[in-house]
Structure 1
Amino acid sequence: MNKSLSTKIFIGLFSGLILGSIIQYLLSGFPVFDQYLVGTASAVGTMFVSLIKLMVVPLVFISIVTGVCELENSSSLGRLGGKISGLYLINTLLAITTALVITYFLQPGAGANLGVAASGSSALTEQGLPDIGTMIVQIIPTNPFAAFASGNMLQIIFMAIVVALAIKSLGQYAKPAQHAFSLANDIMMRLITMVMSLAPYGVFALMINLGATLDMNALSSVAGFVLICVSIMFFWIFVVYPLAVWALTGIKPSVFRAKTRELVLFSLSTASSNASIPVTTRTLVEKLGVSKALAGFGVPLGATVNMSGAAIYIAVAAVFATNAYGVHLDVADLVTIGLTVCLMAVGVGGVPGGAVVMIAVLIQQFGLPAEALAIIAAVDRINDMVCTSSNVVGDAAVITVVAGTEGELNHDHAKDINATTGNTEAATEVS
């Protein structure tokens, strides 16, 4: 029987960790193991990480151009696009703020002592992250090719937005260009999927190297990192979103949770916002009473720009990695990281492993070794599953709220937990 990708990744993770640990504690001193085998595993793992990094610049540029171009599907939905996008942005900012405040006090990764960040390879290790004013001034590139070559994410995001606005301003004349970017975005999503199909082997190699070098303190720090990520995202799914919908539409939290349960389970299994689009749309229309037009417009938009779960994941991962490698972050650094993550989260692909690509950018900017990304990639499947659920339930919550304010919500249908086919079990549970 064919195993799922997640099963293969878990097998690669644990088998690589066990093999690496055996080499460290039982076979140390044998060159064939602790030099050649571990060295080969390190090389293979580095190649896998390089494949992920290869996707970064084109994915961010293309996905943002595509997303901005799709903000206005029709003139009648222009106002709705602004309202939905605004709520998505507020949601993301609140999620990032919460994640950074929690990690500031809990300090995940502190004491892991995984190594030292590369000296001189990052502005962070030499003089701290640039302040907000400098970051804003430098967001406009003087040389676009240099921005792409250096992987300056803020400048690339700025250019993507400008290009998208130029395409939209040309109207129907530029439809071929918009279609070309949409096709390119599909190609990038396919490339990400292809790279992630190699994840079991890449994770296996990375974990051999990590198991051969890490001690128990490091492993417990990784477990703490995962626990913090998952806890914050579950809090957003089951507490923040239901309460927000209740406050703004009158739909009880228990009803909202029951009607989005199928969506949560599906997104957990696929770990893909894009793959969840049909289920999200069905949940909104058939279970929550949102109009088809609004759901059809808002869900694809949310799959592109509403990445609150990814923002939480990236923010916690950034603090964990810097702590684990002895890089000190003060409050000003955290604020700058938060603003950067807010912009970067928009470029996260709605496919499994999309957040890892963005985390790779921060890892590189911090001057941290490839092993830092290896640790995060090794446990990515766990975080990514919950991250996706947070993203798609956020889509459903925001669109439901907008529908309620625009008269596009059937309140009787939304509040009646028995109003949807096949939801008897959910009704029993809540009642």
Structure 2
Amino acid sequence: MRNIILKWNQISLVLRILIGIVVGVVLAVTIPDSVAWVSIFGSLFVGALKAVAPILVLILVTNAISNHKSGKKTNMKSILGLYAIGTLLAGVVGVVASFLFPVSLTLTSGVEDLAPPGGIAEVLKTLLFKIVDNPVNALMNANYIGILTWAILLGLVLKKAADTTKTAISNLSDAITQIVKWVIDLAPLGIMGLVFDAIATNGLDSLLEYGQLLTLLLGCMFFVALVVNPIITFIYTRSNPYPLVLRTLRESGITAFFTRSSAANIPVNLTLCKKLGLDEDTYSVSIPLGATINMAGAAVTISVLTLSAAHTLGIEVDIWTAIILMVLSAVSAAGASGVAGGSLLLIPLACSLFGISNDIAMQVVGVGFIIGVLQDSCETALNSSSDVLFTATADIAKKRKEAK
């Protein structure tokens, strides 16, 4: 048995995940009732990722900053700029595509208990209060803005600590990183359970009625992932972007697709950044920050569903309102929660731009939850893989400048 496990672990993680996907699909299609217990593997895997991510971010960022050598530059300004550009352009793609291929919605209900934010000021206010959150509460609720704030402050203070203290923090960071590796090694089994549960529980019949909307949404996300992001990367690196783009989609996007949580995918992204040989001082901060504010997929979802609602109601949208929506969807997306369906509750905020009532807007949110099996999965895959892509892009651009 030990030899079998060793040989299994020698296979590339991506291939093992693909095997898990195939097994999950076969079990869900053939004998779903007999092996219903398989879905527990998916829940355990996502639970393990969510459990390890907050403490990993706290210790890793604290360690990186406390051991940071004075005068050594990081790429955070460039990465933040890339995050902003990527999210804004995703909003532009969603708006332009909605004008070119307008979609009408079959409105539904069933989301009366949800409470969307009342305006952009409320979204920003929530973000500010997350910064001053109690550190224990931030860890318990996976508030990564609060966790990052405390990690940065602790790191800055501990820069003057004794070398023995810094060594202890480094050892703790290494220990938690090893635990993350163990969790990620369980990805094939976990994703098998997630695939099985998704197909056995939801099926695909419920998506057929919304095929046109899904085609528009997913088309926009694929366009951003395979055209817009590579162009941005090429402009910064002046080299073929597709090997890096495809690797981030393969090694980060696949797990994010099935976990449907940018927060849960943080350990996967940190591991990928290490494999890519990126600067730990930079990616230990940029990855958890990206899971919170780098939301290109969310910008697409907000803009497309909002304009679909406007088209359904026969509302004329002028060019200036469309431009405002592009910016609003990008800013709102940055405030979206890094959990499954987090972007949907920001749709009423965007709908208010066109005078669409909250009752109608919440029906649009209901449509979003119906198609969420694919929409939210692809959205998260785009969001999370972009975190690694832009972090790596900034690193490559920096090395390119230094080589001149």
Aligned-pair identity (%):
11
270, 274, 279: which is aligned to 2:251?
A: 270
Give a deviation string over 1:281-326, Cα, whole Å, max 9, x none: 4xxxxxxxxxxxxx65678558846859993555257539977998
Contact 2:65 2:152 in 1 (8 A): no
Between the aligned partners of 1:105 and 1:137, the Cα distance in structure 2 is 32
Could you say which residue in structure 1 is the equivalent of 2:77?
86
Between the aligned partners of 1:336 and 1:209, the Cα distance in structure 2 is 34
Between the aligned partners of 1:46 and 1:320, the Cα distance in structure 2 is 35
Between the aligned partners of 2:84 and 2:180, the Cα distance in structure 1 is 27
Could you say which residue in structure 1 is the equivalent of 2:161?
170
Give a deviation string over 1:326-385, Cα, whole Å, max 9, x none: 899x948635533336xx8xxxxxxxxxxxxx343726977989876643576589x46x
Could you say which residue in structure 1 is the equivalent of 2:192?
200
Contact 2:127 2:335 in 1 (8 A): no
Between the aligned partners of 2:192 and 2:376, the Cα distance in structure 1 is 10
Partner of 2:186: helix, strand, or coil? helix
Change (3 A) 1:392 1:55: closer
Query: Displacement of 1:68 after TM fit?
Result: 5.2
Change (3 A) 1:338 1:64: farther
Tell me, yes or no, if structure 1 residue 119 matches structure 2 residue 102.
no
The unaligned stretches of length 5 or more in structure 2 are: 1-7, 253-267, 313-323, 347-364
Matching of residues 235-274 of structure 1 within 5 Å: 235-245=227-237, 253=238, 256-257=239-240, 262-264=243-245, 266-271=247-252, 273-274=269-270
Matching of residues 173-188 of structure 1 within 5 Å: 173-175=164-166, 176-188=168-180
Tell me, yes or no, if structure 1 residue 375 matches structure 2 residue 371.
no
Between the aligned partners of 1:46 and 1:324, the Cα distance in structure 2 is 38
Could you say which residue in structure 2 is the equivalent of 1:102?
93
- Higher alpha-carbon deviation: 318-327 or 295-304: 318-327
Letter aligned with residue 17 of structure 2: L
Letter aligned with residue 270 of structure 1: E
Between the aligned partners of 1:143 and 1:398, the Cα distance in structure 2 is 32
Letter aligned with residue 397 of structure 1: T
Contact 1:266 1:276 in 2 (8 A): no
Query: Displacement of 1:114 after TM fit?
Result: 8.9
Between the aligned partners of 2:307 and 2:190, the Cα distance in structure 1 is 26
Matching of residues 152-171 of structure 1 within 5 Å: 152-170=143-161
Query: Displacement of 1:64 after TM fit?
Result: 5.0
Could you say which residue in structure 2 is the equivalent of 1:249?
none
Change (3 A) 1:87 1:184: same
Between the aligned partners of 1:142 and 1:213, the Cα distance in structure 2 is 43
Could you say which residue in structure 1 is the equivalent of 2:209?
217
Letter aligned with residue 294 of structure 2: A
Change (3 A) 1:123 1:262: closer
Between the aligned partners of 1:214 and 1:359, the Cα distance in structure 2 is 22
Matching of residues 396-415 of structure 1 within 5 Å: 396-405=392-401, 408-409=402-403, 411=404
Q: How many pairs are equivalent? A: 342
Could you say which residue in structure 1 is the equivalent of 2:256?
none
Contact 2:18 2:188 in 1 (8 A): no
Contact 1:88 1:305 in 2 (8 A): no
Letter aligned with residue 52 of structure 1: V
Change (3 A) 1:136 1:238: closer
Change (3 A) 1:64 1:326: farther
Give a deviation string over 1:82-136, Cα, whole Å, max 9, x none: xx11111111111111122323454699756696464334444xx4565255235
